[in-house]
Structure 1
Amino acid sequence: MPVISTPHAFNESRLYVDLRSIFGRSLYLKCEGFNFAGSIKLKAAIEMVETAERRGVLTPDSILVESSSGNLGVALSMIAASKGYRFLCVTDSRCNLSARLLMEALGSQVHIISDLDPTRGFLGARIDYVRALCDSDDRYVWLSQYTNPGNWRAHYRRTGPEIARQFPRLDVLFIGAGTTGTLMGCARYFREWHRPVRIVAVDSAGSVTFGGKPGRRMIPGLGMSIRPPLLDESYVDEVIRVEEAETIRACHRLARRGFLFGGSTGTVVSGAMDWLDRHRTPGLTAVAIAPDLGERYLDTIYQTAWLQDLYGDHILDFDEVTADSL
């Protein structure tokens, strides 16, 4: 039994769910939501904070500030509370209410941007606000998850090796693309591994991460309205874009089997299953990363009125697919 004295000292990394019985395809889902921050963002948060501490950037008078759609904000709130820092999260109206309440419960301030930048969306407006704060007061320290190498380094050091230990014969890895920290860290790790691994990035339709025209995105987590500065496409073998309707259906299919996951996970699972349906290779070992659990989405993707208002009355009209039906 682990005994800890700081909340970020616990992060269960060995739990996988085999999705064959639910979707009819063998896919091992790495569950990253079992820590006190509730998501994979804890890894990047602690790496960036402790690097800033070692370099003397953070002092007792510092005020941490970060732009986040939710999960990184919660992780930084937890770490700031544990270490005695003040923290301000700059988010927007798409951030789940539960994530905002969690941050405030941990003692953080939350500023909500309501007006989006005409060309760079909510993210551009959030970044502009953070930069203005930093220019106005040198106590503000912006870790900048979008450009900070600690974001991808956390997954090069931890997430990639964790997967490699469990699956020494891994063939394909599906990773959601947001800031691309998880994607770049794992891709760099497996590029240096003893056997080739196909890296498949899963993005939200309407995101401009890998180019294309921006579109409406209502589910926070994956996707970007600007090209991520951390992204190096030479490490990515393939990109799959998933419509939000398919994200929602994947989440509800998992929930009907007792697994309540977040929107990012629904996107990754939907994209992975589409890829596996098109590549029916016998004996393939496939892993996907589930960034978070579903409790923070109860008032959005698991709330019928919210779904119907945004996606229509028939959003959940789909045929269940199981191993027995194939």
Structure 2
Amino acid sequence: MTSEDEQQRARQGVLLAIGAYTMWGIAPIYFKQLAGVPALEILSHRVVWSFLLLALLLHFGRHWGSVRDVFRDKRKMVYLTSSAILIGFNWLLFIWAVNANHMLDASLGYYINPLINVLLGMLFLGERLRALQWVAVALAAGGVLIQLIAFGSVPLVAIGLACSFGFYGLLRKKVSVGAQTGLFVETLVLAPAALIYLLWIADSPSAHFTQNPITLNLLLFSAGIITTLPLLCFTGAATRLKLSTLGFFQYIGPSLMFLLAVLVYGEAFTVDKALTFVFIWGALIVFSFDGLRNNRRSKKALAK
């Protein structure tokens, strides 16, 4: 591949990364349109329609072989069943947070997530933290402790989202399965419970499709696209960009959520939240600086 081709792929990767994280960042706008629908019902739609959409993509892409390989591997199935439960919990908590006016907490959770990933890498993958990474983690912990000690509150939603997504990423890293195949198996694991809930348990006004306005039904059916499209963009970006480069786009999502929460939906940016965010933002500045510095050192070492 020529350097011109590599540059073209890198440009495509940047656009795909921006697209993925932007879609994740503005996803709350979609869920706000479903504010009258119970969170568990929205989650069930998200699982069912994502499963059907991914089945179509796997069929037309002729990737059923990779699915069969997963089914034959008990270890992979155990990991993916566990990751399915984690991502289901993460989706449910996120949907609830958005529609219960806790979008700032959701934003905080996804800001904390990169730091949780670093800690999990140290605890479970034997990775060592550099000095500045320890500083970043300490700053983040300090922000949460100040909120706990000075204001008597704990950002449970933020911690729940960050930890569930962090452990989800850890399991997916260990199982080493393609994004489409992995998400298909995960939605397959969750689909029976989602269908049972939609067909026999859900009893809200929106549960009766024939009585819903067509716009509401279209919104519910779109849950699969809202879930799958950013993932496909992210996968495309990951194959075209270095992981260190991709990492710097991950703050787009929580930043957009933060702006939506404060400027569009009028969530109160209280003193306890402000202090916690300042500490987390400080931690992420240190974390990003360390990443850039380490990347430059690696390039210099390779050049020698």
What is the TM-score when the length of structure 2 is the normalising length?
A: 0.29
Identify, as 1 or 2, the structure richer in helix.
2
Higher relative CO (CA 8 A, sep ≥ 6), structure 1 or 2? 2
Identify, as 1 or 2, the structure richer in strand.
1
What is the TM-score when the length of structure 1 is the normalising length?
A: 0.27
